[in-house]
Amino acid sequence: MIIVLQPDRDDLKAIVQRVVQVAARFEGVETRPYAHTGTGHTFTEIHLVGPTRGVPTTVFEEIPGVLRVVRVSTRYRLVGRHHETEAAGFEYNGVRFGDEGLTVIAGLCAVDTREHVDLMMSALQKEGMVTTRMGAYKPRTNPYEFQGLGRECLPYVFELAGQYGMRAVAMEVTDGRQIDEINQALADAGDPTGVILQIGTRNAQNFELLKVVGQQERFPVLFKRGMGITLEEALNACEYIASEGNPCIIFCLRGVKTHLGDPHRNLVDFAHVPLVRRKTRLPVCVDPSHSVGSVDEAVDGIPDVFHAAGQGVIAGASSVLVDFHPHREVALCDGPQALTLEQLPRFVRYVRRVRETFEESVSDTAPATAADAIDGA
Ligand code: PEP
Ligand code: MN
């Protein structure tokens, strides 16, 4: 059971106390308060855990200052959406990840040279972009393949990020010790930028790693759906992160593994965007690069990666994670799916246009007249 308090009240502390007192009447029931920040408002919630089946909602509904009481049946209670007024998302280092707009997180799949990082970030800055992806720790299928430069590249990645005005660098971690390395490198560089910790598809059910990224609150987490797990399992995995104390999670779809997606690398699962938005309060990201796996163009001259990104954005995704490389022929990881820097402005225009169409569709509540016009023609 979740008790949601009215936001923006001066007496929130007293209301929480009253709720806790009333809950104490029920044996075995524990209370856990959480603050959830939506657009403009911070909602305080008190979660009742334990044997709540016999607890009536009315005893809490009667308390002045309680907005609503919700019985929750989902097992992902913290990341789940329990009432319509909840806005998805959070703000990090001056960037809002949420329902209000579209954030493009474009960059290198894997950092290879300082020069490529420099060229990439310079191109992003020209487009007015402040978020990027820079893989340092790469989980590779084959042990003899390039494993990423690891901490060695962090000093120049962060230095250049600061120089080019990047507010957040998305970076996969495969082990908790890498978070210490990131913290150290950021401190050494004078904290010029922020970091989003990426949980890759291969670690989507590495529960110990999920707990570790959940136990720290400094960095938000971009969680990628496991390539072969159900949506329900993926949402439970996010709950592992949130239940350890970190609610700032972006849920990323990146395609699922099945040969039915051939010749694309994965089968695009972006039809799940509205579903995740309905079931949770997590901002939803799509990764068209790892879904499609190539830069082939359709007959309309638009690359499949653009088309897939558009499918996610038109369905309501609020961020796009996408691979670019200044010289993809020499990229050490996922070069075949990397768009070129010359394609960046067009990609940004394309997804922004799709986002505008999405927003127009959301606010289009006028009765349909187009069909009448056709009938009358
Ligand atoms: C990546 O984004 O670099 C990556 C490895 O993606 P995924 O975990 O989706 O395969
Ligand atoms: Mn990759």
**Got the DSSP string for 282-346?**
S-EEE-HHHHH-S-PBPTTS-BHHHHHHHHHHHTT-SEEEEEB-TTGGG-SSSGGGPBPGGGHHH
Same-domain status, 63 and 126: no
Same-domain status, 217 and 125: yes
375 domain residue, yes or no: no
Half-sphere exposure of 43 (CA within 13 A, CB side): 26
Pocket test for ligand 1, best of 209, 254, 270, 289 (most atoms within 8 A of CB): 254
pLDDT value of residue 40: 67
Give which of 151, 257, 273, 168 is closest to 204, Cα–Cα: 257
pLDDT value of residue 7: 87
141 domain residue, yes or no: yes
Q: How far is 250 from 285, CA to CA, in rounded Å? A: 7
Q: Please give the number of the atom of ligand 1 that sits closest to the Cα of 203.
A: 8
The domain boundary residue, chosen from 70, 100, 124: 70
Q: How far is 234 from 226, CA to CA, in rounded Å? A: 7
Pocket test for ligand 1, best of 290, 319, 334 (most atoms within 8 A of CB): 290
Q: Please give the number of the atom of ligand 1 that sits closest to the Cα of 224.
A: 9
Same-domain status, 42 and 126: no
Same-domain status, 107 and 241: yes
Joined together, the tokens standing for residue 161 give: 């990020």
What separation in angstroms does the CA of 368 have from each of 118, 182, 315?
50, 53, 20
Same-domain status, 143 and 19: no
82 domain residue, yes or no: no
Cis peptide leading into 263, omega within 30 of 0? Answer: yes
49 CA → ligand 1 middle, Å: 35
371 domain residue, yes or no: no
Same-domain status, 197 and 286: yes
The domain boundary residue, chosen from 37, 70, 103: 70
Same-domain status, 13 and 45: yes
Same-domain status, 199 and 277: yes
192 CA → ligand 1 middle, Å: 25
8, 13, 15, 19: CA torsion to nearest 10: 130
Residues 208, 232: contact at Cβ < 8 Å?
no
pLDDT value of residue 34: 86
User: What is the per-residue burial (b if ≥16 Cβ within 10 Å, else e) of 62-77?
Assistant: eeeebbebbeeebebb
225 CA → ligand 1 middle, Å: 10
290 CA → ligand 1 middle, Å: 6
User: What's the gap between Cα 170 and its chain centre?
Assistant: 10
The domain boundary residue, chosen from 21, 36, 70: 70
Residues 121, 160: contact at Cβ < 8 Å?
yes
231 domain residue, yes or no: yes
Domain total for the chain?
2
224 CA → ligand 1 middle, Å: 8
317 domain residue, yes or no: yes
Is 148 a pocket residue for ligand 1 (Cβ < 6 Å)?
Answer: no
Give the residue whose CA is nearest to atom 8 of ligand 1.
200
Domain of 120, CATH number, reads 3.20.20.70
Is 281 a pocket residue for ligand 1 (Cβ < 6 Å)?
Answer: no
81 domain residue, yes or no: no
Q: What is the phi-psi region of residue 171: left when phi exceeds 0, alpha when psi lies from -120 to 50, beta otherwise?
A: beta
Q: Is 132 helix (H, G, I), strand (E, B) or coil?
A: strand
Same-domain status, 21 and 52: yes
Is 135 a pocket residue for ligand 1 (Cβ < 6 Å)?
Answer: yes
- Per-residue pLDDT of the chain in tens (377 residues, 90 and over written 9): 999 999 888 999 999 999 999 999 999 999 998 887 766 677 889 999 999 989 999 999 999 999 999 988 778 989 998 876 677 899 999 999 998 999 999 999 999 999 999 999 999 999 999 999 999 999 999 999 999 999 999 999 999 999 999 999 999 999 999 999 999 999 999 999 999 999 999 999 999 999 999 999 999 999 999 999 999 999 999 999 999 999 999 999 999 999 999 999 999 999 999 999 999 999 999 999 999 999 999 999 999 999 999 999 999 999 999 999 999 999 999 999 999 999 999 999 999 999 999 999 999 987 766 555 555 44
pLDDT value of residue 74: 78
Same-domain status, 101 and 62: no
Half-sphere exposure of 48 (CA within 13 A, CB side): 29
Is 116 a pocket residue for ligand 1 (Cβ < 6 Å)?
Answer: no
Is 109 a pocket residue for ligand 1 (Cβ < 6 Å)?
Answer: yes
Joined together, the tokens standing for residue 166 give: 């990047």
Q: How far is 123 from 166, CA to CA, in rounded Å? A: 12
Same-domain status, 37 and 180: no
Domain of residue 9, residue span: 2-70
Q: How far is 208 from 310, CA to CA, in rounded Å? A: 34
373 domain residue, yes or no: no
Q: Please give the number of the atom of ligand 1 that sits closest to the Cα of 139.
A: 5
pLDDT value of residue 374: 58
Give the residue whose CA is nearest to atom 3 of ligand 1.
109
Domain of 46, CATH number, reads 3.30.70.1140
Same-domain status, 12 and 124: no
Single-letter amino acid code for the residue at 5: L
